[in-house]
Amino acid sequence: YPENVPGRAPYFPFGIAKNEKFIYVISHTNLAHFDAETYEYLGLIKECKTGVNSHQMIIDEDNPDLLYICNTSNDSLTIFNLKTKENKYVLLKDSIDKPFEIVDTIDFKFDVYVDDNYHINSICQHKDSLFLVLSFKEKAPSKILEISKKDYQPLSIIENIGQFNHDIIVTDEYIYSLSTKTGELVEYNRNDKTITKYNVCMDNDYWWLRGMKRINDSIYVF
């Protein structure tokens, strides 16, 4: 693992994804994989190139060879092909006014603060779209960015969804995210474009909302 990463510990696993055979874990620039049944450590996939401070990642629901990784401190998304071992990157913005650039290589900075403008920390897939959380830490209200899975170009952006948000769940009717700083579950109605916030931490003296899972009709918040 990298040493002396400014602003982050050298060992910092944040992202995890699973298919039928393997469990993948991303920690800074290192992608590790494990046997999904025995949990045996199978080593690093060194061909995968990401920046320091990588956060969530997912496997494409339609193409199990594609892995999407949030390069949180580098304002970009890594698309890694598990079969061909090829990388490409989407250079993301907090606006949909201009096309996003797709590149084959990227100059990752080692300091987690140098290129961290949007702090992209969460990702999910719904149908033909990828949805990402731009949390901005505490510099500005968080946003949700939707990009096409076909060409990785921007489709929509939802503003003012909370403060220092983490995690995202998308359905046909709703988008959910956690407003980490305010202790709220944020619900965005995709039909009438309204936002409803639910305080889930009113009885606690301290909270740090990170981690959310939908199972059947329930949402579990950590």
Per-residue pLDDT of the chain (222 residues; tens, 9 = 90+): 677 788 888 888 999 999 999 999 999 999 999 999 999 999 999 999 999 999 999 999 999 999 999 999 999 999 999 999 999 999 999 999 999 999 999 999 889 989 999 999 999 999 999 999 999 998 999 999 999 999 999 999 999 999 999 999 999 999 999 999 999 999 999 999 999 999 998 777 888 999 999 999 999 999
pTM > 0.75: yes or no: yes
CB distance 184 to 198 below 8 Å: yes
Check the CA dihedral 183-188-194-196 and report its sign.
Answer: negative
Does residue 127 come out as left (phi exceeding 0), alpha (psi in the -120 to 50 range) or beta? left
Spatial CB neighbours of 183, under 8 Å, sequence gap ≥ 6: 199, 200, 201, 202, 204, 207, 209
Dihedral sign, Cα of residue 184, residue 140, residue 212, residue 171: positive
Quote the pLDDT of residue 203: 78
Sole residue written with tokens 């990752």: 108
Beta strands at 41-44 and 30-35: parallel, antiparallel or unpaired: antiparallel
Could you tell me the two tokens for 201?
A: 């931490």
Q: Give the pLDDT confidence score for residue 185 in this predicted structure.
A: 97
CB burial string 111-120: b at 16+ within 10 A, e below: ebeebbbbbb
Cα–Cα dist 167/135, whole Å: 10
- Measured CA to CA, the distance from residue 105 to residue 94 in angstroms comes to 21
pLDDT at 6: 84
